[in-house]
Structure 1
Amino acid sequence: MSEPGLLQLVSWNVHAWRGSDGREDLERSARVIQGLQADILGLQEVVNHQDDLAGAGELGRLAQRVGMELITGPTLVRSHGEYGNALLSRFPVQAVRHIDLSFPHREPRGALDIDLDIRGHRLRVVVTHLGLRPVERRFQVRRLIRALDVHPAETLAVMGDLNEWFIFGRPLRWLHRHFGRFQPSPATFPAVFPVFSLDRIFIDPPHALQQLRAIRTPATRKASDHLPLQALVRLGGPGGG
């Protein structure tokens, strides 16, 4: 936190640690994550190889390296590990819930739904990755909005790769209406020359959002096909604190 009450949240689709050069390189992605210095980091398309039966695999080692608590939300489990969403946090975790967003006959999808204790302030963070087809996204956003009405918190952040190419598509319109404000978002995809705003961070209450930007550096352009999306959020009232 750069000042009391100000949080840095980042959402990043890590593309299974595969960069824009087509090379899978967890170490390169780890260096980017270290450089972000985020307070809360939501990840999508996370591959977590379980090469240690007693631990949390390579993602657990990454969390130890950056000094953050890890919460995983796998949507696919294979013999060699997991694939899905994850959250890294510098703050204590109060509760973890999993929202099933799977659409029939399509790749399983879900959302991590987590309560964090930010110095006595409860922040609810939802990390998700929606489907590729419009019918999937409409189904998933309707289910997600219903889930948001449960377990209210002082501040809510929904972040992830929404895969919504159409700025006036129904899923985005529904989310903007739910959060009470149209919120433009910078382009994050493709990372080498971003054109589409596939990654989003929504904040409730809306006045808590101070800044939203894509983090575009030589390292972030190379480490994934998505750029990280950063939100600066002020907790407490409109005046902060």
Structure 2
Amino acid sequence: MKLRIATYNIHKGVSSLRSMPRVHALKQALSSMEADILFLQEVQGRHDKYAMKHANLWPEQEQHKFLAGDSHEAVYGMNAVYDHGHHGNALLSRFPVVSSTNKDVSDHAYEARGILHCIVETPKGQVHCYVIHLGLFAGSRKRQTEQLIEAVTTSSPPGAPVIIAGDFNDWTNQLSESLRERLGVTEVFDDDLPSRGFGSYLRTLGGRGPKMKPARTFPAALPWLRLDRIYVRGLHIETAEVLHGGMWAKLSDHAPIIASLELK
């Protein structure tokens, strides 16, 4: 069974320059991806100030419901709460979501973070989906990664298909090795591993070979930093690409990643 998935930090539905609402254009862009499951970060559940100032440009619906439309089911994990609103992560799925939990992994008072875990019922069985947005500080990211590993280990059976996607803020690529070794996942841009051989893979994990690098996704206009990731287990990676240039540079400060997978 084929699965088309995407991860995208949508910058709360406003442009990275001048903070103008881009929610309607964003909905069209997401629709053009034709993704079965979307892992979204910085989703604005409510923002009273934007709703009042830009009444014609700001949907009355919560962003995750508006972006999902009639084609996808939407699940929202509220993380940051303030007087005029709140934001968090969201999962949009073309398939039924049979359960969801949102785990608070905030490391300090200035950054509210969470892990949104959804079990998606596909025609070929359940897939465990984790939407993540890690902190800006290296120490926080390391501790949050430990919590992510624990969450995946305790909430999904060992042989279950798993997708972990989101904004890892890990521009120095310090976290991938732990995730690969302890969860048995592969990042979607590691797809050339079979051609290099299993021995080459082990040498790479052991630090004796070239270090595997995720794709560049930030800033969207000219991606340079490797912030966004998709890790999978129990799924074959067919294709993966970063969408950048043109409209993508205007919608958010991050570029989205889209991948085609096959459920084993």
What TM bracket, shorter-length normalisation?
Answer: 0.7 to 0.9
Matches within 5 A, 1:167-186: 167=173, 169=174, 171-180=175-184, 181=186, 183=190, 184-186=213-215
Aligned identity (percent) is: 30
Match of 2:225 in 1: 196
Match of 2:32 in 1: 35
Take 2:245 and 2:92, find their aligned partners in 1: how far apart are those partners? 21
RMSD, aligned α-carbons: 2.1
Aligned with residue 48 of structure 1, among 45, 51, 54: 45
SS of corresponding position for 1:139: helix
* TM-fit CA distance, 1:151: 2.6
* TM-fit CA distance, 1:79: 4.3
Q: Where does the alignment leave 5 or more consecutive residues of structure 2 unmatched?
A: 52-59, 191-212
Aligned residues: 226
Provide Cα deviations, 1:83-137, integer angstroms capped at 9, x if missing partner: 0101110000111011221113331110100100001411000001000000000
* TM-fit CA distance, 1:235: 0.5
Matches within 5 A, 1:196-235: 196-205=225-234, 208-235=236-263
Query: Which of the pair has more CA radius of gyration?
Result: 2
Q: Where does the alignment leave 5 or more consecutive residues of structure 1 unmatched?
A: 237-241
* TM-fit CA distance, 1:185: 2.2
Matches within 5 A, 1:1-241: 5-22=1-18, 23-49=20-46, 57-64=62-69, 67-153=71-157, 154-167=160-173, 169=174, 171-180=175-184, 181=186, 183=190, 184-205=213-234, 208-236=236-264
CA contact (8 A) 1:20 1:191 kept: no
* TM-fit CA distance, 1:81: 3.2
Query: Which 4+ residue blocks in structure 1 deviate beyond 3 angstroms?
Result: 78-81, 179-184
